[in-house]
Amino acid sequence: MNIDIPLWDLLPYERKEKGHSFEIGEVQEALDHLKVPYWGNPKEWDMWQRNIAKGPDIIIPLLDAEVECKNISSKIYPSWIKKSYISRFTFTRRHKIVVTNWKWFIPLDCRKLLYEKGIKLMDLYEFIWWIVERLKRKNGILFNKSILNINVSLGSSNGLLDVSTATRTCYVTDYV
């Protein structure tokens, strides 16, 4: 580590890196694996940084859902829920979902704030299950149970994907 860089300059970068890894390397990768069409933040690091904190991270038009991805590593406070969770949603879609890596860091009073605004709180596996169930109902698609055997550590060894796209992408697949 470069000792010329103060510790406080490294912490936000590490937090963003973990957020990028969770949003792109796990949530978007799971959607790609399920072949669900969506609009999401760019996968390329520099472009992703320019788009964070601007609306929901992922929009799934087929399921009329807005998704905000949060990598949580400590307890969350109500002021954070108001500033960084609820404010991200446009409230123009039927389903508003916060996907986290560990939802148990969010205390009951914060969960109530989300519930009052109609926002669902899920971990990655619940989110995948929710998508599969909605697609079954919407399209009558029968999924093989093995589709849920998604490894959370999708991506490269450092947790980041090497993707050259630099714009918001809509993946149009078999379900459209």
pTM: predicted TM-score of the whole model, two decimal places: 0.70
pLDDT in tens, 62-114: 999 999 988 888 888 899 898 888 988 988 899 999 999 888 889 999 999 99
pLDDT in tens, 154-167: 443 433 333 333 33
Give how many domains the chain has, as a whole number: 1
Q: Is 7 contained in some domain?
A: no
Q: Is 19 contained in some domain?
A: no
The residues, any chain, with a CB within 8 Å of residue 83's CB and separated by 6 or more, are none
**Cα–Cα distance between 72 and 82 in angstroms, integer?**
16
Which helix (H) or strand (E) segment is 127 a member of? helix 124-139
Q: Is 28 contained in some domain?
A: no
Q: Is 102 contained in some domain?
A: yes
Length in residues, the chain? 176
Q: Is 48 contained in some domain?
A: yes
Q: Is 136 contained in some domain?
A: yes
Structural domain boundaries enclosing 130: 37-169
Q: Is 29 contained in some domain?
A: no
Q: Is 20 contained in some domain?
A: no
